[in-house]
Each structure stands twice: as C-alpha cells, then as structure tokens.
Amino acid sequence: MRSSSEVGAPALVRLRGVAVAAVVGVVFAMTAASAASAAPVGTIPPGASATSGTVVAWGDNAFGQTAVPAGLADVVAIAAGRFHSLALHSDGTVTAWGSNFFGQSAVPAGLANVVAITAGYVLSMAIVGVASVDEVAPVPSAAQAPAANAAGWNNTDVTVSWNWSDGDGSGIDPAACQATTTSVGEGAQILSGSCTDRAGNTGTATHPVKIDKTAPTLRPTLKGGLIWYGSKVTVKANATDRGGSGIASSSCQPVNTSTPGPRTLTCTATDRAGNTTTVTVDYVVGLTVTKLSPPAKTKTKAGSAVPVTFTLSGSGGKPIPATLAQQLSTTCAVKVTLRGNTATCATYNPTKRTFTATVKIPKNLTPRSVIPISITAIAGTTTIASATTSVTIARETHRTEHPEQSHR
C-alpha cells in the first residue's frame, strides 16, 4: 500500500490475477483480524472472505474521501481514488463516498455479487462474480471411535464423527451439520447424521454399530462343597450372555482331587464384544471314614480303654495311599474325641492300613448313657473327614467294676 506522498502516482494492484491500473489518493486502513495490511488495495484477501471489519481513513479530506460513513461495517476490501473512496462488503455490495463530480461515487443501483473493486483517479470499477450452482449435497467420511473389534463388536458406547465435505460446492453450513453421533444402549443399531450446505442441499449418512456392554453370566455345574479324594469330577462353565454378541469362549480349570483339603478353581467366559466374567468356585477334597470300630452304642464298662480303629478312604471306598496316611498321622491331622475328653491323635498302621486311637471311658458314668466318639481329619483348619460312633455304658459292668475300682 502506498503512502500519501505518492498522491497521483499510478500503481498496479493485483486483482484476482488481473493487473489493474489504480491511482492512490489517500491513506487507508481496514481494521480486521488479519486481512487488510498484507492485501492489495481493492481485493478480497485470500482466505479472508469470512473476515470483515471497519475502515479507518486519514489524509486529504477536501471532498470527504477520508470521512468514512458512520456505521460502515462488514468490509472485506477497500480502494481509494483521488477524491473518493470505495469499500466492498462481505455480502458483495459496495459503498462509495467522497467526490462524485464524475459519478465515481454513484454506485450503480443493484450492483451485487461484487468480488473485487478498484478506484481510479476519478472512476471506480468492480468485478461482479458469477453465482455458482451447487446441487450436490455434502458427503460424509464416517469414522467411529473406539473401533470395533475383529468380530465387529464394541463393549462401550461408540461415537461416529461424520467429517462432512462439500467438494467444490458452496461449503457446509456448520450450524446445520451434525459433527458426531453417539450410540445409545446395546445391540445392533444404525447411527445417522445429516448436513446441509450453504446452497440448501442436505446429505444424510448412516453407520452401523454393534454394542454389547454386558458381561456373560456363569453358573458352573460344580457348586462347591465336598468332593471325594481321587474322584473324577468335571465342571462346566454354563455361560450365558446378554447384550447381543453371544459367548465367544468359556472354560473352567480342572477339578483337582489329588490331595485332600480346600481348593479353588475359576471359570471364565468372554463374549464376542470382549466382556469377560470370572467366577471362583471353592470346594473341599474330602475323605470318607470306613471300617469304623466299635460300631455305635457298643456296650462297654465305665473306666475302660476303648480302641477306635478306622480307615480313611477316597472315592469308591479305596483306602488312601500309605504316604498320605502317614503324613496325616505324623502331623496329628486325624483325631478321635470322646465327649468331654481331649482329642487323641490317631496313629497309622501301614500293614492294616488303619488308624487307631484308644480312648479312656471315664468312671462314674450313669449306666446306659451313650457316649459319642467323633473322628475328624483336618487340612489346615478345614475338616476333610468326619464320622461318629458311640459306646453305651453297661449297667452290670458299672456294678461289678465299682467295688474293684474303689478298692484300688
């Protein structure tokens, strides 16, 4: 832009690729965000179509050429003649002020769609644009986030960004275009969006998604509780799924009955959307007490010593291995308890494959009273075997034994 010292000197300004002779008479400035300072006089600065501003002028005002009309706004380009000035508005109209001696400030009635202006010494010129036709609706380039998995499912809500474009058309109207659409709920669904361009053409778009947020449900066939040592037990996960995608895989760890005691296994199921459920099943591998002697309510004398013998067995009544039995014996894991007495550790006889503990029947028990005897085996704090028997105090035994016991 030239200064006022160059009044009257012809200058060339580039006007959308066309060289136009111009005469600069006053200093102009357009106050806008980015446009005026670097742009040639009289043109809409590239990329500045959406930027408009007001005008400030100074210098020779003999014909009012620097008296900017009050309220002049939405200006996208300016031009200065010797005695008049022009402003191009964003809506394609032109305002002129200053000298009109040669009609240079008399903007033709109906002048519209102006894309560029220039001012000569005492004349004005404008380029009128040709209205373009846009009959093509905007088109989307849909992108969903997060992406679906390999099976085509998501386990969270999905947002589709439509990314509308209008090619070389009038351009999209951001206020009339959906930027994103987000899924609601579960199941297969079609997300849709629309966009209208500045010429009024509306494009629509759809994008299918499949949402399953619900993890599978597991009901293992093994409910927990006691499982016999050495037994063959299979467990099924029994997985079901809601949410739409269905079970992709399910499994349980094997039931381990190789050692007695408390154990845990897990069952896991995953649906096709990637939701996973894991449940834990607690169970106890236990032993049975077999060949228990004496049988319940065996008569005995008060004050007598009663040997209690039994075998610990696993599945099918098969006695447990000697090594395991010996280990239980050594750690006093197998005990025999007479009511009211301290528990007695049972010892293992590998030849007979039996456990034995002798319990002492108290003296002075009422004849015919039944004294329970319990057998327990533990692993840690968990009971892995239990059984009961009993002895009955004999009436006559008490009468005949009493004098002897008193005598001792």
Q: What residue ranges bind Ca ion (CB under 5 A)? A: 134, 136, 166, 169, 197, 201, 212, 214, 241, 243, 271
- As measured in angstroms, the least distance from the Cβ of 135 to Ca ion is 7
If the CB atoms of residues 196 and 337 are measured against Ca ion, the closer one turns out to be: 196
If the CB atoms of residues 162 and 271 are measured against Ca ion, the closer one turns out to be: 271
List the one residue out of 68, 196, 199 whose CA is nearest residue 139: 196
Please state the φ and ψ torsions of residue 325, each to the nearest 5 degrees.
-65, -45
If the CB atoms of residues 53 and 203 are measured against Ca ion, the closer one turns out to be: 203
If the CB atoms of residues 11 and 136 are measured against Ca ion, the closer one turns out to be: 136
**Are 345 and 372 contacting, i.e. CB atoms less than 8 angstroms apart?**
no
SS3 call for 187: strand
**Are 2 and 10 contacting, i.e. CB atoms less than 8 angstroms apart?**
no
- As measured in angstroms, the least distance from the Cβ of 211 to Ca ion is 10
- As measured in angstroms, the least distance from the Cβ of 165 to Ca ion is 9
If the CB atoms of residues 108 and 187 are measured against Ca ion, the closer one turns out to be: 187
- As measured in angstroms, the least distance from the Cβ of 261 to Ca ion is 36
If the CB atoms of residues 201 and 238 are measured against Ca ion, the closer one turns out to be: 201
CA 375 to CA 373: how far, in whole Å?
A: 7
- As measured in angstroms, the least distance from the Cβ of 171 to Ca ion is 7
Place of tokens 């007979």: 352
If the CB atoms of residues 251 and 374 are measured against Ca ion, the closer one turns out to be: 251
CA 259 to CA 286: how far, in whole Å?
A: 9
Q: How many CA within 13 A on the CB side of residue 259? A: 11
If the CB atoms of residues 201 and 349 are measured against Ca ion, the closer one turns out to be: 201
CA 337 to CA 387: how far, in whole Å?
A: 11
- As measured in angstroms, the least distance from the Cβ of 220 to Ca ion is 18
Strand ranges (DSSP E) for 6-65? Answer: 10-15, 18-23, 27-31, 54-58
Within 258-394, residue ranges assigned H as helices are: 322-330
CA 196 to CA 203: how far, in whole Å?
A: 6
- As measured in angstroms, the least distance from the Cβ of 156 to Ca ion is 12
- As measured in angstroms, the least distance from the Cβ of 275 to Ca ion is 5
Q: How far is CA 161 from CA 20, 87, 355, in A?
A: 46, 40, 76
**Are 85 and 27 contacting, i.e. CB atoms less than 8 angstroms apart?**
no
CA 257 to CA 251: how far, in whole Å?
A: 18
- As measured in angstroms, the least distance from the Cβ of 235 to Ca ion is 22
If the CB atoms of residues 40 and 169 are measured against Ca ion, the closer one turns out to be: 169
Residue least distant from Ca ion (Cβ): 169
CA 39 to CA 77: how far, in whole Å?
A: 9
CA 116 to CA 94: how far, in whole Å?
A: 10
**Are 249 and 233 contacting, i.e. CB atoms less than 8 angstroms apart?**
no
CA 153 to CA 241: how far, in whole Å?
A: 14
